[in-house]
Amino acid sequence: MCQINVVVEREGKDGVETVMEGVSTLEVTETGITLNALFEEPVVLADAHIARIDFQGGVVTLTA
């Protein structure tokens, strides 16, 4: 099974923040992005956008 880590870059702040590890599904909605991982509550990031996906490294970077 292929799982990925999701990090977010916030405007005006340096670096990235890990939002969730072992993400099994990522859904883009009208209001933001919903992340799901096994045995964890979903995380909803309002007004977040996908900046880049590193398939080789297993990381999705979001901007918020």
The answer to whether the pTM exceeds 0.85 is: yes
Tell me the domain boundaries of the chain.
4-63
- pLDDT tens-place string over residues 21-61: 999 999 999 889 999 999 999 999 998 999 999 999 999 99
DSSP codes joined into one string, 3-48: -EEEEEEPTT--S-EEEEEEEEEEEE-SSEEEEEETTS--EEEET-
